[in-house]
Amino acid sequence: MNLADLNTIARAMVAPGKGILAADESSGTIKKRFDVIGVESTETSRRDYREMMFRSKEAMNDYISGVILYDETIWQNAADGTPLVKLIEQAGSIPGIKVDEGTQPLPNCPGETITVGLDKLAERLAKYYKQGARFAKWRAVIDIGAGIPSYAAIHTNAHALARYAALCQQAQIVPIVEPEVLMDGDHDIDRCYEVTEFVLKETFQELYYQKVALEGMVLKPNMAVAGKKSAKSAGVQEVAEKTVKLLKACVPSAVPGIAFLSGGQSDEDATAHLDAMNKIGGLTSGLPWGLTFSYGRALQAAPQKAWSGKADNVAAGQAAFTHRAKMNSLASKGEWSSDLESKKAA
């Protein structure tokens, strides 16, 4: 393992004003997205959609540091025969790859899951590295509900995350460590804070046990937010303050940066929360790591709708993608305001 090189890549992934595009939807998930806009999900339509984003010069050059790809996408070529990985590299962005294989029910833990995919991961990572991937992603899912999460679910998922991260670094690939506490329940923000604190502390303990070098990874956590069904909502400032407090309590300073997941938040909520955190939690507060974004839906919902599978709409789709990328870039520097949302790219 060359830690200096891993650290260089990790820092580039969370460079000031830039964030990560999560374009790693499985074939099943992207079909659901395409169903909403009336587009048939085929290998070609999926390729065309992602190529549209990767050829968005302003977005990719100015605001996107890296792209998380799905297994299908990392091997695909653009319509003109250029490998999609090369399009990403030519834009000055870093190709990455999702390596987990989804979730399965956790034995003896009703309603809870374990992320799978460790078997033969070392061999897969070597192939992905050869194809151009320089970072990877593994998502652990923790749900909040009646009697859950259990310690078994938290510990087992944290352990798997750490094993994945160690294998990545062995393969000279930067691991994105993503423990996601879901916002699907009726819990309030304080319950989310409590569970996320437990999950993060358990995760970093397991990373230590697996000898993962924190300088060569990126953390992708959820924000402290109320559940979607909660009777008690949380305002933007409360989300920002509690999330920053949570990170200070849990994340070692050796971690190069934090790239939040959007977790089902609306486009503008994800941007507003990130901006508020950077307004209160920037260098003046002495945070040892930058706070940026690694969004999927919060970057892609608008361009998907604008594109709608039509070649004539490529420019409109690219403009929508560029606008959302720019808004989140500003938020990662604490420079966003809701007034800017109406000033969309032409």
Tell me: the pLDDT tens digits for 198-228?
Answer: 999 999 999 999 999 999 999 999 999 999 9
Given a cut of 70, whether residue 11 has pLDDT beyond it is yes
Asked if pLDDT for residue 345 goes beyond 70, the answer is: no
Mean pLDDT to the nearest integer, 156-181: 98
Mean pLDDT rounded to a whole number for the chain: 95
Residue with tokens 């070392």: 122
Question: How far is 342 from 338, CA to CA, in rounded Å?
Answer: 8
161: pLDDT strictly greater than 90: yes
d(CA 46, CA 262): 22
Overall average pLDDT of the 69-98 stretch: 97
- Asked if the model's pLDDT at residue 166 lies above 50, the reply is yes
Average pLDDT for residues 68-87, to the nearest whole number? 97
Specify burial of residue 37 (Cβ count, 10 A radius: 0-12, 13-18, 19+): middle
In Å, what is the CA distance from 201 to each residue of 105, 129, 187, 198, 206?
23, 30, 20, 5, 9
Answer yes or no: are the C-beta atoms of 224 and 274 closer than 8 Å: no
The model's pTM is: 0.95
Please, which pLDDT band fits residue 281 given cuts at 50, 70 and 90?
low
Confirm whether 232 is a catalytic residue: no
Which amino acid is it at 28? G
As a whole number of angstroms, the distance between CA 155 and CA 198 comes to 10
Q: What is the mean pLDDT of residues 80-108?
A: 97
Buried b (16+ CB within 10 A) or exposed e, 145-173: eeebbbeebbbbbbbbbbbbbbbbbebbb
d(CA 216, CA 2) in angstroms, rounded, equals 9
In this prediction, residue 346 carries a pLDDT of 40
From the list 137, 220, 242, 326, the catalytic residue is 220
Residue 95: which of 58, 131, 127, 133 has the closest Cα? 133
Looking at residue 23, its amino acid is A
pLDDT of 187 > 90? The answer is: yes
Tens digit of each residue's pLDDT (9 = 90 or more) over 100-111: 999 999 999 999
Domains, the chain, ordered by start: 3-334 (3.20.20.70)
Which of these, 215, 220, 264, 201, lies nearest to 96 by C-alpha position? 220
For residue 123, with 0-12 CB atoms within 10 Å meaning exposed, 13-18 middle and 19 or more buried, which class applies? exposed
* 211 in catalytic set: no
The pLDDT, as a whole number, for residue 283 is 44
Instruction: For residue 255, give every residue at least 6 positions away whose Cβ sits within 8 Å of its Cβ, in sequence order, or none.
Output: 214, 215, 217, 218, 219, 288, 289
Percent of the chain beyond pLDDT 70? 97
Residue of higher predicted confidence among 39 and 346 = 39
The distance of Cα 108 from the centroid of its chain, to the nearest Å, equals 29
pLDDT surpasses 70 at 282: no
What is the bridge-based pairing of β-strands 113-115 and 103-105? antiparallel
Catalytic one of 178, 180, 202, 206: 178
Whether omega before 107 lies within 30 degrees of 0, making that bond cis, reads no
